Chain A
Amino acid sequence: MSKAYVVHTGIITSIGNDTAACLQSLLEGKTGVGKAEILKTHWQNELPVAEVKLTNEELAQKTGVSADWPRTALLSAIAVQEAWTPYKDKAAGLRTGLFSANTVGGMDLTENVYKDFITDVHSVELKKIINHECGAITEIVAAHFGIYDFVTTISTACSSSANSIMMATQMIEAGMLDIAIAGGADSMSRFTLNGFNTLMILDKQPCQPFDNNRRGLNLGEGAGYVLLMSEKAIQQCNAKAICTVSGYANANDAYHQTASSPDGTGNKLAMGNALKKAGLQPADISYINLHGTGTANNDSSEGKAVEAIFAGNVPMASSTKGYTGHTLGAAGGVEAVFSTLSIRDGIVYPNLRWQTQMEDINWQVVTDLKTGQNIRHVLSNSFGFGGNCSSLIFSAC
Chain B
Amino acid sequence: MSAVPTAPPPRPAGRWARLGWHWRHDPKIELWIMWWAMFCFYQLFGVVFALMTRVMPPPKPWWGQARIVQWFSDNHDGLLWGFGICFLISGLVASCNALIGYSMRRMSVSRAFPYAYIAIYSLSTLPGMLLAAILLTVGAMRPDRDPAILSWIYDAAFMTFVGTMGVFLVGTAIWMLAILLDRNRVFPLWFGYLNICNLLTEVVVAPVWIFQEGPFAWNGVITFWVDTLVFVVYTAAFITLLRRLVLREDFGEGVLPDLAAPSAGRA
A binds B: no
Partner-B contacts on A (CB < 8 A)? none
Partner-A contacts on B (CB < 8 A)? none
